[in-house]
Every structure is written in structure tokens, then in C-alpha cells.
Amino acid sequence: MSDEPDSERLETPAGWERRDQALHRVFTFPDFVAAFGFMTQVALLAEAVGHHPDWSNSWNTVTVSLSSHDVGEVTERDVDLANRMNRLLSE
């Protein structure tokens, strides 16, 4: 067994960075409606998988932080939700 934390072995999704035991990303959209629409789509995804982001919205910007609070670090649930959010952008 490795001494390295499990979270360190997980690949950081494209466009995301690791900071403070979490995945972080800032999404910028053309306007508030597009930003809020993205948040609405993510809310439905998050509810379906039972894992919810810490996030904020200011006009056309959505700032997201993903961490599994029950273990205090990044887990597969966070990476999965980050990848799902990335896929929403490409649709």
C-alpha cells in the first residue's frame, strides 16, 4: 500500500486545479442567463449523483469548489462531478 493519499493518485480534470484539499474552477459565460442555466444543469446532475458543489455566481461567472467533506479531500466523486461539468460545456 502506498503512503501517498488516495486523492493524489486521482487525475485532475482538464481546466481544474487542486487547492486546499479541493478541486477548483472558474467558469465564465456570455451572460447571467447562460451562467445560471449551467448552474441549473449542474444542480440536476449533482442531485442525481448525491454529491453537491460549493459554488457561487456573480453575473456571468460561476466559481466551483469540489471536495468530499466527509473525508476532507478530493475523491472519485469530486473527479466524476468535475468531468460531468466539463462535458456539459462541450454539449
Give the domains, in start order, of the chain with CATH numbers. Answer: 16-90 (3.30.1360.20)
Tens-place pLDDT, residues 30-63: 999 999 999 999 999 999 999 999 999 999 999 9
Contact in structure between 77 and 13 (CB atoms under 8 Å): no
What are the E-state strand segments in 1-91? Answer: 17-19, 22-28, 54-58, 61-66
Choose among 81, 82, 34: nearest CA to 62. 34
Distances 62 to 20, 21, 41, 67 between C-alpha atoms, Å: 18, 19, 13, 16
The average confidence (pLDDT) of the chain is: 92
